[in-house]
Structure 1
Amino acid sequence: MASRRYTDLLLDIGGVLISYSTKNNTALPPRTIKTVLDSPHWHEYEKGKLSRQQCYDKVTAQFGLAPGTWAEAVKQLQSTLKPNQDFIAAIKDMKASYPRLRVHAFSNISAPDFDYLKPTIDKWGIFDNVVTSASIGCRKPDFGSYRQALDSAQISAHTSIFVDDRSENVITAHSLGIRGVLFENTVIVIAQLHNLLGDPVARGMAFLRRRAKALFCETDNGITIKENFSQLLILQRIGDSHQKQAAMEAILENLTPDGLPLIYFDKLRPRFCPFVSANVLRLFYLNGQGYKLRSTLRYICSILHTQAYEIGKRYYCHSDWIFYYLADLCRKCSNPDLNELRMILSTQLKRRMGTDKDVLAAALRVLAAQSLGFENPRDLETLLVAQQLDGGWEFAWMFTYGSVAVKVGSRGVTTALTIKAIQTARGVEGLSAESNKF
């Protein structure tokens, strides 16, 4: 898995690190202020082509303002300036967490306005370098502004991240090879930056260690349940050969008339689920008894070939569990009985890759693709950008149970499966105990 090593962070100032309000400005209406700030004369002022007085005179003439009105409007704007303290604190934390990180200001701002802000900016203590439109003679989103900013700071586009609140600026930066991040929400952008700068596996493992004794499943009515994901997963992870044999014998005593395994070892509850059948098939073949469930193998191949698995799920919340179970079987078992299954499974999985942004579903598809021997970059990217600030991945519903279909979900399972997928993509074999629990 190829990934960039980012060493430089370029931050816009206005709208990212500091904001202002036009709401109570008595000099001019908010719409007029916005129009002036996006006018050609103001742009020329930001590029250092006009002095402050020249700019103010031209703005006053163009918009038919009374003398001194624009100066008063700017004065009131300056009185509303408010630093984004949460983001500034987060940048300081990032510099401490990632010692190689250098932070650069890169802003469209005139020399006089920057001089006004400089004492405040200096107090933040976060910048290694400052590049303004006035200092380089051009402004974002002009291509030349990015090239000059990189040259001025002596940094590479490939190792740089750029944060701005204007989409046109971010899109242009991204098109030039800089990793662009659109600033819309402080918390979200902080998480995005950690995902780009940090090691996702190390952060994920730290999350699992911190929650090692609290990674229980939860229901949709808020109840925590201290229960394993399923009896079959228990057997796979910790069951000995006698336990597995006893379970398989019980399964063979509870089949449908078509020879398919039922869910419960209870003839009064004849429930059937194709996804459970796939997991049972894995158990039997991995323990040398697949020949006892050949009718199940034919059935599974049929629902894969016809894409019937997408129609609906009674117990599992994600169709992609079937790929996870069966691909794991194909990786671990070389029985020629499974040749057709391997072929159909690969075809259908490639069709489904990247079909949604659901993190648990993406993790299941990445792991399945890895088991079958091919890459799944679209779903892997979904995992890499979805890591949360605490290092874990989002809570996900996994299955339902009971007559009222109570949903059961977990963050721990999602995090463990995602870590395993990322590690395998990196070519790292094996997982530590925390993630192997799932």
Structure 2
Amino acid sequence: MVALSRPSSSSLSSSSTRYDTIFFDLGDVLFTWSPSTKTSVSPKTLRSILQTTTWFQYEKGEISEDECYTSVSLEMGLSPNDVRNAFQHARESLVSRPFMVELIRELKPGRKIYAMSNISAEDFAFLQTKSSDMDLFDYCFTSSSARERKPNIGYFRHVLERTGADPSRTIFVDDKLDNVLAARSFGMTGILYDDFENVERTLRNLCFDPMVRGEVFLRHHAGEHLSYTSTGVTIHENFAQLLILEATHDPSLVKYTKYNGPFNFFRGEGELTTSAFPCDVDTTSIGITCSDHMSLEKKHEVMDAILNLRNADGIPQVYFDASRPRIDPVVCVNVLTLFHKYGRGKQLKECYEWVESVLRYRAFNEGTRYYEPPEAFLFFLSRLFLVAPDVHKRLGPLFAECCRERIGLKGDALALAMRLLCCNFAGIDASGDLTTLRGMQEIDGGWPDGWFYKYGSNGVLIANRGFTTALAINAIRGAGLRMKRPSSITNLKQAWNDTVVRIPYRFRSTAHDAH
């Protein structure tokens, strides 16, 4: 038998992934129907008939429609006419799912799309007269023509031979687990149709470039990447905005307040805390390293002020407010990054020693006072390494050990993105976490909640989808480069820069939304 034509590699767009073939079931995937037929045959009985050996023979074309109805009527104690009328009503109840049709049309360019259904010749002929959506498919495989039915292995072998499809590049969508399992046993990627939202998300994540989709999400929400709390409150802050700026190098995506001195976490008054909220060294350190509006002289003045905030142990406190004596190791890492960037790292000897101890003894493994994911400590430490080659030389091997220990652990999208970035940085394979992160991408192209920062006083968590998405894009891009551990800090910087989001020109805005 002649194999059906396959798409050429040149027909696939550069944004396509490795999947070039998709098989869809028809009933309860593309079409729905009702077993309530307004006849003497109850919905329960009708569904029972569909599971009989007689019906299976009918679907495979081994017996005629009349023979089927006569046989099942005897089995079920029904009249053949009642059975015929019930199935005629069921046929007439068939309707296509327009949202599924639209999705398949979107998936079709550059791919072969096939139907693979357990359906009799008579039912398929009726379906073709009732629906105009069958043009979606390059070919429709039916159990009646194949003389096999799902989940039988022979049916799957038949369609693979006919199409020449490579199972490793093939997706199979069906509402029956037995059928999905059989497809997977051939090496196909099986998707169980449970609800449309899950199926759509999975298909988009498998078939479209995650980085392009993420970049579109960032551009679509430019200037509106607001943070929100675990209690459902939207907050207007500078911290995540500055980190998005660093991750994307695109100021048009964010809004933040430019200070000529210490930075404040909030853009206005404090939210869910005291209204007169003090400036903090964490946002200040990030702000000075991520933005370029402050003079060098002023930056050093701010660093002098930070030195004056050290406690008796030599650790910089979080707030420019003596009445709030707080410390956090992640904040210390960010302060060290600022000081090392401007050649003053040696002024924070005690701070560095504490950070090293936190790393060595895994004190960060349950998060910190202000940071929810353990990965935040490692992520910001990798930023420090970029400006402090001596610190990287000393702590790099220990950092890599900690990264390996995190691989495969449970985490939200932000934790996974940070983990992958750190593993990419250290030249460590974390392909399992990469697969998990890619599968978390939402239909709109962004990634879901990633609880990042938190209020130290009450533990209320803060997330920002823009920040999570920017880091996820960078993590996926970096994993794709399959970086090996750089031998020099120059190569290390280049490796980091290679993973930074570059928003395509067509998505950029000419307006500068930062203020």
Structure 1-normalised TM-score? 0.90
Q: Which residue of 2 aligns with 1:210?
A: 220
The 1-side partners of 2:313 and 2:307 are apart by 12
Q: Which residue of 2 aligns with 1:249?
A: 304
Q: Which residue of 2 aligns with 1:232?
A: 285
The 2-side partners of 1:247 and 1:135 are apart by 78
Q: Superposed, which structure 2 residues align to 1:27-426 within 5 Å? A: 27-95=40-108, 99-219=109-229, 220-229=231-240, 230-239=283-292, 241-335=296-390, 337-401=391-455, 403-404=457-458, 406-426=460-480
Deviation at 1:405, TM superposition (A): 5.0
The 1-side partners of 2:377 and 2:208 are apart by 32
Does residue 13 (structure 1) correspond to residue 26 (structure 2)? The answer is: yes
**Cα-to-partner distance string for 1:9-61 (whole Å, 9 max, x where unaligned):** 21100010011222465433333322221222212221122222222223223
Q: Residues 69 and 80 of structure 2 are in contact (CA less than 8 Å); yes or no, is this contact kept in structure 1?
A: no
Q: AA paired with 1:281? A: L
Q: Residues 235 and 243 of structure 1 are in contact (CA less than 8 Å); yes or no, is this contact kept in structure 2?
A: no
1:73 and 1:272, CA in 2 relative to 1: closer, same or farther beyond 3 A? same
Deviation at 1:124, TM superposition (A): 4.9
Q: Which residue of 2 aligns with 1:431?
A: 501
**Cα-to-partner distance string for 1:160-181 (whole Å, 9 max, x where unaligned):** 2111111221122122121211
SS of residue matched to 2:136: coil
The 2-side partners of 1:60 and 1:78 are apart by 18
Deviation at 1:339, TM superposition (A): 4.3
Percent of pairs with identical residues: 33
Deviation at 1:387, TM superposition (A): 1.8
Q: Residues 129 and 153 of structure 1 are in contact (CA less than 8 Å); yes or no, is this contact kept in structure 2?
A: no
Deviation at 1:89, TM superposition (A): 1.7
RMSD, aligned α-carbons:
2.7
The 2-side partners of 1:25 and 1:295 are apart by 81
Structure 2: gaps of 5 or more residues: 1-15, 241-282, 482-497
1:331 and 1:371, CA in 2 relative to 1: closer, same or farther beyond 3 A? farther
Q: Which residue of 1 aligns with 2:255?
A: none
SS of residue matched to 2:428: coil
SS of residue matched to 1:68: helix
1:136 and 1:270, CA in 2 relative to 1: closer, same or farther beyond 3 A? same
Q: Residues 48 and 135 of structure 1 are in contact (CA less than 8 Å); yes or no, is this contact kept in structure 2?
A: yes
User: Which segment drifts farther, 371-380 or 148-157?
Assistant: 148-157
SS of residue matched to 2:239: coil
SS of residue matched to 2:41: coil
**Cα-to-partner distance string for 1:111-162 (whole Å, 9 max, x where unaligned):** 1111111123444531111111111111112222122112223322222211
Q: Residues 301 and 340 of structure 1 are in contact (CA less than 8 Å); yes or no, is this contact kept in structure 2?
A: no
SS of residue matched to 1:103: strand
SS of residue matched to 1:264: coil
SS of residue matched to 1:300: helix
User: Which segment drifts farther, 342-351 or 416-425?
Assistant: 342-351
The 1-side partners of 2:115 and 2:307 are apart by 68
Q: Residues 475 and 499 of structure 2 are in contact (CA less than 8 Å); yes or no, is this contact kept in structure 1?
A: no
Q: Which residue of 1 aligns with 2:484?
A: none
SS of residue matched to 2:171: strand
Q: Residues 109 and 133 of structure 1 are in contact (CA less than 8 Å); yes or no, is this contact kept in structure 2?
A: yes
The 2-side partners of 1:314 and 1:21 are apart by 55
The 1-side partners of 2:364 and 2:38 are apart by 60
Deviation at 1:418, TM superposition (A): 0.8
The 1-side partners of 2:166 and 2:499 are apart by 33
The 2-side partners of 1:281 and 1:174 are apart by 50
The 1-side partners of 2:189 and 2:503 are apart by 34
The 2-side partners of 1:323 and 1:243 are apart by 29
1:132 and 1:246, CA in 2 relative to 1: closer, same or farther beyond 3 A? farther
Q: AA paired with 2:83? A: W
The 1-side partners of 2:462 and 2:358 are apart by 25
1:251 and 1:235, CA in 2 relative to 1: closer, same or farther beyond 3 A? same
Deviation at 1:224, TM superposition (A): 4.2
Deviation at 1:329, TM superposition (A): 2.6
Q: Residues 340 and 387 of structure 2 are in contact (CA less than 8 Å); yes or no, is this contact kept in structure 1?
A: no
Deviation at 1:420, TM superposition (A): 0.9
SS of residue matched to 1:58: helix
Q: AA paired with 1:396? A: G
The 2-side partners of 1:249 and 1:375 are apart by 41
The 2-side partners of 1:177 and 1:400 are apart by 43
Q: Residues 181 and 189 of structure 1 are in contact (CA less than 8 Å); yes or no, is this contact kept in structure 2?
A: yes
1:256 and 1:44, CA in 2 relative to 1: closer, same or farther beyond 3 A? farther
Deviation at 1:367, TM superposition (A): 0.6
The 1-side partners of 2:38 and 2:318 are apart by 68
Deviation at 1:190, TM superposition (A): 1.7
Structure 1: gaps of 5 or more residues: none
Deviation at 1:244, TM superposition (A): 4.2
1:142 and 1:374, CA in 2 relative to 1: closer, same or farther beyond 3 A? same
Q: AA paired with 1:283? A: L
Q: Residues 169 and 188 of structure 2 are in contact (CA less than 8 Å); yes or no, is this contact kept in structure 1?
A: yes
The 2-side partners of 1:303 and 1:430 are apart by 28
1:276 and 1:421, CA in 2 relative to 1: closer, same or farther beyond 3 A? same
Q: Residues 369 and 456 of structure 2 are in contact (CA less than 8 Å); yes or no, is this contact kept in structure 1?
A: no
